[in-house]
Amino acid sequence: MSEINPEFCGYRSPLSTRYASKEMQYLFSEQNKFSTWRKLWIILAKAQKELGLEISDAQIAEMEAHIEDIDFPAAAEEEKLTRHDVMAHVHVFAKQCPLAAPIIHLGATSCYVGDNTDLLVLKGGLDSLLPKLVGVIKRLSEFAVEYRDLPTLGFTHLQPAQLTTVGKRCTLWVQDLLMDERALRNCRDNLRFRGVKGTTGTQASFLQLFAGDGDKVRQLDQKVTNLAGFEKYYAVTGQTYTRKVDLEIVSALSSLGATVHKMCSDLRLLASRKEVEEPFEKTQIGSSAMAYKRNPMRSERCCALARHLITLHASAANTLAVQWLERTLDDSANRRLTLSEAFLSADACLLTLLNISQGLVVYPKVIERNIAQELPFMSTENVIMAMVQAGGDRQICHEKIRVLSHEAGAQVKQHGKDNDLVERIRGDAYFAPILGDLDKILDPKTFTGRAADQVLEFVREEVDPVVARYGSNVETKSIGLAI
């Protein structure tokens, strides 16, 4: 009898097994978390030594030699005894570094490593997402320019409306993505470090370490902040940095989720009309039962993940709202879920969206056929104006067009036939003065206004400066997709 593989007997997040990048998964990994704790203890010791505390180079070197080699089973056993994750890792690190043991975590509270590590991870997550987002923006902008003058039916209320172009419609998606880039970039650029603040944010323990020298405590805060790669620290905190920071970032990610959902919903609608499709691999199966199907599974995946991402905003907002006074611990378990899932979901959405944007397929003939079914009705005002310019009476012409339009509409709605309004106009002697110009009057490109020019102006003025800001860091390479 075959044995069960224990690896598959516990819950595993699909964000790590199916969707998110290895890079983003590592940022939220246990290895990264606890090795960062150790780096922060080293940073603290270095800064304290510079400011005069009795800490030796040998103690620091000993800690530096054990940044990555974390004994996870030992830490788990310690946590069972202490019921405290930070102290469990302090004890394990101290056993590996007996010389440095007396000065590890000196003057600090748990949030020194916990919150500062979270801020480093948040910064790394934003740094990872932004080039991917700009890569999507760049590719979609190229698509918009390519199809800037291809007329297509516009829709309001999901009903055929005045024509737009395939490229102009794409700029609507890009504009929302640009707003997401701005929001995420602002989150990253305004992100600060918690630094060293002590148990309730007063820095009392550090003031004691430095014999009441407040200036040295301020210097310690700044040195630790700079050594960690930040320019500024939050001037005031409770025990934690304000969870408003988490809310701002998750809010921006949630907003990105809404953008992704809207765009991919549009693509699903266009795929149902066979006008635009996402890439479809040669060996891909659309349906287990219906072999002919080309389901928009990438766009559907984006919508599914984006929907989850959108809901996380409420979790971050509620966590901020219930932080009593200097802090409560009911944020901890929630943040382990919310922050990681927000970044991993956003990462998965952008990876999939980049794949979609690099392989969009347009079917001009289908688009042309769909326009032909609706344009005759939309062009009636142009026909009337042309007749008036040719000497006709507007009211007589209007009545003629009204009757013919209703007849053509009946053919479409009652009999399922094509729209034959143009043929009816050609067959009515009344319209003889304009028949020679009728094809020009009905040219779809005359109904798209400034759409093509708007695309070029938008890309030049709005997109190009953003793409240029990222230079060679823009994520543009073609990627494969996990199942």
Which residues belong to the active site?
157, 287
Rounded CA separation 450/457 (Å):
10
C-alpha separations of 304 from 19, 102, 265, 309, 345 in Å: 12, 50, 11, 9, 10
Rounded CA separation 464/458 (Å):
9
Rounded CA separation 96/66 (Å):
7
8 A C-beta contact, residue 125 and residue 187? no
Pairing of strands 159-165, 151-156: antiparallel
First to last CA, the chain: 30
8 A C-beta contact, residue 274 and residue 366? yes
Quickly tell me which residue has 């995420």 as its tokens.
184
Give the CA dihedral 60, 63, 65, 67, nearest 10 degrees.
Answer: -130
Give Dmax over CA atoms of the chain in angstroms: 104
Closest CA to 143 of 438, 390, 359, 389: 359
**Interior/surface letters 2-19, b for 16+ CB within 10 angstroms, e for the rest:** eeeeeeeeeeeeebeeeb
Query: Quick count: other Cβ atoms within 10 Å of Cβ 317?
Result: 16
CA angle 432, 434, 436 (to 5 degrees): 95
